[in-house]
Amino acid sequence: MFGKKILGTILCAAIAFTALTGCAGGGTKKVGISMPTQDLQRWNQDGAYMEEKFKAAGYEVDLKYAGNKADVQLSQVEDMINTGCKVIIIAAVEASSLGQALDKAAKKKIPVIAYDRLLMSNENVSYYATFDNYKVGQIQGEFVRDALQLDSTSGPYNIEFTAGDPGDNNAGVFFQGAMDVLKPYLDSGKLVCVSGQTDFDSVATPKWDSATAQARAESIIGNYSDKNIDAWLCSNDSTAQGVVTALDSSYNSEGRGGQWPIITGQDCDIVSMQNMLAGKQTMSIFKDTRTLAERTVIMVNQILNGETVETNSEYDNKAKKVPSYLCDPVFADINNYKEILIDSGYYSEADLA
């Protein structure tokens, strides 16, 4: 009788421990977090915030940054597999470069969550946590449409485009979302792209690199010696920063009646918010890394507790339809940045000074 009581107590304690920590005994739960680079601001925040949230939830964390090198990321993820990570979270440097690691993870029954960037062409991707990438592009395109009043003025207006990394599935989705809004105006001639570069491959920016975006913008600006650039659709802030630097040095807006192009972005990077306050970038899109990190922690808990993983969409990664959770992107400009960035505690006033 007494033995049964002891056994019952131990059993109850084990159940309580599992419910609280998502771990069925047998030591600490360990998660691997594989981020692409520290060269682009947002990934530092994604990594740091996820590490904080997972540690607070009782997890051991192996956080690695791959320096934007696909081969480095591959070996880092394989190391996470070999050192007992129960779940691995990956924002890929290159969407189709990790198949070998994904197959190894599957063999060891380690679920993989694609984080913000979809892992492509491999069925061993368990879930995808991101923001609504198509909606990001739509918001950018609609902003240009409305800021130029394309539906109520005759134009024509000159526009250029700078998209993201062709190795990042998001880049094509952002660009498609924007083009689905703006292409009718290009077709009607109300929008004119003087460089003639309106296809993704021509406007893509490897690694989302600011200097690369700047060099391409400088060569395009040469076509505008006697014309205004009315808008420049940039898919994110690092590329917008490159375009702004190019315009600053080789586009004399004073000589054109002080007209500075409408410039879009995404991520609310500090440099871009400073450019926005200086009137050099017109809008960005806030993708609160705290929201995405918290969603990812919820997904990992649900996976390890054997619960149904909450999703609200799915993405086809060319090998399977990956169950996904899309968080909502938020429009940001000079009129609302204080509320969404400062009041929410994401940045301090000093950060943006």
Binding residues vs ligand GAL (CB under 6 A): 40, 42, 116-117, 164, 168, 170, 208, 236, 238, 266-267, 287
- Minimal distance in Å, beta carbon 85 to ligand GAL? 22
- Minimal distance in Å, beta carbon 133 to ligand GAL? 7
Quick one: 91 or 262, whose CB is closer to ligand GAL? 91
Quick one: 289 or 301, whose CB is closer to ligand GAL? 289
- Minimal distance in Å, beta carbon 16 to ligand GAL? 39
Quick one: 18 or 121, whose CB is closer to ligand GAL? 121
Quick one: 81 or 273, whose CB is closer to ligand GAL? 273
Quick one: 97 or 238, whose CB is closer to ligand GAL? 238
- Minimal distance in Å, beta carbon 136 to ligand GAL? 8
Quick one: 84 or 166, whose CB is closer to ligand GAL? 166
CA angle, 145 as apex, 140 and 149 as ends, to 5°?
Answer: 145
Quick one: 230 or 267, whose CB is closer to ligand GAL? 267
- Minimal distance in Å, beta carbon 215 to ligand GAL? 18
What span, in angstroms and rounded, lies between the C-alpha atoms of 299 and 290? 14
What span, in angstroms and rounded, lies between the C-alpha atoms of 122 and 144? 36
- Minimal distance in Å, beta carbon 166 to ligand GAL? 12
- Minimal distance in Å, beta carbon 41 to ligand GAL? 8
Two structure tokens written together for 8: 């019952």
